[in-house]
Structure 1
Amino acid sequence: MSYKADIAGGSLKLYESRIIAGLLLSDVSPKAWKTAIEVENVLQKTSQGTAKRQASLIRARLVTMTSDHWLLVRDGSKPLAIQANFAAAIAHSCLLRDFLVHTVRDCFRTGDLVLTRRHWRNYVETCRERDPDMTAWTQSTSDKLGDSVFQILAEVGMLSESSKPSLQVVHYQTEIMDYLRARERDEIVHAMQAFI
């Protein structure tokens, strides 16, 4: 287990993920990848550094899956592609996965559906108990990570976008659940279905 801060600034980024999935499906060479991201600026970012960081994060998420999954991201409807990205983000980030499994699931069980920064801060403290080698983050870094996680939950529809964000059930597309179950990615399904 390794809790990392690499989810910061990492919402699901559907537009960018569709492009990265396309590059992966084309099996581009390292040189062609670099040209696409840094020269052609296919992600349409204002700086090369931002483009490289986002491309690297999205690629790291997507390579946890197979080409069949990349097709769902690139060609799927918006809800399906977002949910496929969510699954990849869970596979890539223990921090996100365990927040769903431990904190969000507990909130659903107790009926405490208004998700607050307190939930996130308490969760980060429990992470240190599970992973003694976890890097000690500043409060601002921890809060930024929490913002990214909350944004991801809002994007996939698990968190309402209101002044008091509340947890809610997500109705997943058949294609992504069939994909995960066929490949026995039970840990991802378990996290995605934190409301069960």
Structure 2
Amino acid sequence: MPERSKYSCTLTGASFLFFELKQVVLLKEQGLQDSEIREKVRTENLFGYKVKSSIKRSLPSVLRRINALDDTLRRIVVEKSLETGKIINLYAIMKTDRLFFEFMNEVIRDKFERGDYHLERKDVNVFMTAKSEQSETVAAWTEKTLDKLKQAYIKVLVDSGVARDRKTGALNRILMDEELKRHLVGIGDKAYVKAMGEWFE
């Protein structure tokens, strides 16, 4: 279960942010503290944003994700392939966003287990409607916020490689690096691996 137990809609302003995550991982590996990272990212515009104020919106989410990763996972982001780094970013999003974890676990995992490789708009709508009925927090969000959140979920799926195409909704089964898989299972996060659609014997 994600460490942040409350439902959140922060993905509407954060989305995948893999480039940003990698920049911050490199700073963490140099031993910088969060406060030093914030200062360096802002003063040097390390994210390369045209509008610097965008950093205020994305950096808190990036730092939350980074702080959900242990030393091994941060090392793998730096050393392994782009695809593996993206899978770790997807894991970090699930670790810090309870609602998105539940979406992956209840919708995407279920589809992979049934051999259904197609995500329809109605699948996302049904999920959000069910959560609105179960949670006062989600029920209080406006239709506009929910629409943005649905779009953000699809974007994360596409950017991580879980979805092939935003329009068709075609899903891909990811190929997880064996070292990464063993490590996640070893630290007790098998549920997150399964939520990404990985097979287990």
Q: TM-score band, normalised by the shorter chain?
A: 0.7 to 0.9
Contact 1:21–1:70 (CA<8 Å) still a contact in 2?
yes
Q: Give 1:49's aligned residue.
A: 53
CA drift at 1:163:
3.4
Q: Are the structure 2 counterparts of residues 70 and 132 from structure 1 closer, same or farther at C-alpha, using a change threshold of 3 Å?
A: same
Aligned residue type for 1:160: R
Q: Give 2:93's aligned residue.
A: 89
1:3 aligns with 2:7: yes
Distance (whole Å) between structure 2 residues aligned to residue 26 and residue 150 of structure 1 = 33
CA drift at 1:112:
4.6
Deviations, residues 95-149 of structure 1 (Å, cap 9, x unaligned): 1111111122333345553322221121112113443344622222112111111
Identify the match of residue 168 of structure 1 among 165, 172, 178: 172
Distance (whole Å) between structure 1 residues aligned to residue 90 and residue 109 of structure 2 = 16
Q: Give 1:182's aligned residue.
A: 186
Aligned residue type for 2:152: S
Q: Are the structure 2 counterparts of residues 29 and 110 from structure 1 closer, same or farther at C-alpha, using a change threshold of 3 Å?
A: closer
After the TM superposition, list the runs of 4 or more consecutive aligned residues in structure 1 that deviate by more than 6 angstroms: none
Aligned residue type for 2:100: L
Distance (whole Å) between structure 2 residues aligned to residue 5 and residue 30 of structure 1 = 23
Contact 1:17–1:74 (CA<8 Å) still a contact in 2?
no
Identify the match of residue 75 of structure 2 among 71, 74, 84: 71
1:99 aligns with 2:106: no
The RMSD of aligned alpha carbons is 2.2
Q: Are the structure 2 counterparts of residues 60 and 135 from structure 1 closer, same or farther at C-alpha, using a change threshold of 3 Å?
A: farther
Gaps of 5+ in 1: none
Q: Are the structure 2 counterparts of residues 140 and 108 from structure 1 closer, same or farther at C-alpha, using a change threshold of 3 Å?
A: same
Q: Are the structure 2 counterparts of residues 193 and 110 from structure 1 closer, same or farther at C-alpha, using a change threshold of 3 Å?
A: closer
Question: TM (normalized to structure 2)?
Answer: 0.86
Question: TM (normalized to structure 1)?
Answer: 0.88
**Residue aligned with 1:8, SS:** helix
Deviations, residues 27-76 of structure 1 (Å, cap 9, x unaligned): 32455223212111111112222112212111111211212111122332
When the two structures are aligned, how many residues end up with a matched partner?
196
Gaps of 5+ in 2: none
CA drift at 1:194:
6.5
Distance (whole Å) between structure 2 residues aligned to residue 79 and residue 129 of structure 1 = 36
Distance (whole Å) between structure 2 residues aligned to residue 25 and residue 38 of structure 1 = 18
Distance (whole Å) between structure 2 residues aligned to residue 98 and residue 195 of structure 1 = 18
Distance (whole Å) between structure 2 residues aligned to residue 118 and residue 166 of structure 1 = 14
CA drift at 1:186:
2.0
Contact 1:101–1:194 (CA<8 Å) still a contact in 2?
no
